[in-house]
Structure 1
Amino acid sequence: MSRASAGVRVDGYCHSRFEAVAEEFSKNFAEHGEIGAAVSIYLEGECVVDLWGGVADQVSARPWTRDTLAVAFSSTKGLVAICMHLLIQRGLLDLDAPVGRYWPEFACNGKEGITVAMVLAHQAGLPVWQQTLPAGALLDWDLVTGQIAAEQPLWEPGTQHGYHAVTIGYLEGELVRRVTGKSIGEYLRAEVAVPLAADIWIGCPREEHHRIATSYFADPNPQSPFFAKLAREPDWVGAKLINNIGGDLAPASINGAARRSAEIPAAGGIVTAHGLARAYAPLSLDGSIDGIRLFDEDMLPLMRTTRSASSMDTMLRIPTTFTLGFSKSWGAYALGEGEHVILGENAFGTPGFGGSIGFADGDARLAFGYVMNFHGPGVGLNRRGQSLIDATYRTLGFRPGRTNAWVR
Structure 2
Amino acid sequence: MPLPTITRLLESNGISVVRKVIEQFGNGITVYSLYFEPRSEELVREVLNDLSLMFIARKTAELLPLYFRGEITAKEYAYGGIVSMFVYYFLHHQDEDLEYLFSALKGDPEKLSHLENIRRSLKQETVSLMRIVHTLKNHPELLKGAVALFEDKFGYDEGEFDAEQFKIKQQELREQMGKTVDNDQDKEIIEHVLLFNEVVVRTNFFKVPKTAISIRINPEFLGKDQSYPEAPYGVFLMVGNDFHGFHVRFNDVARGGLRLVLSRDKASFARNLETAFFENYNLAHTQNRKNKDIPEFGSKGVVLLHPPAVPSQDIMRAAGEQAFKKYISSFLDLITNQPSIKDYYNKPDIIFCGPDENTADYMQWAAEYSKIKGYPYWKAFTTGKPQSMGGIPHDIYG
Fold-level similarity (TM above 0.5)? no
Q: Give the number of the structure whose residues are more often helix, by fraction.
A: 2
Greater strand proportion: 1
Return the structure number with greater relative CO, CA threshold 8 A, min gap 6: 1
Q: Under TM normalisation by the shorter chain, which class is it? A: under 0.3
TM-score, length basis structure 2: 0.25
| Larger gyration radius, structure 1 or structure 2 | 2
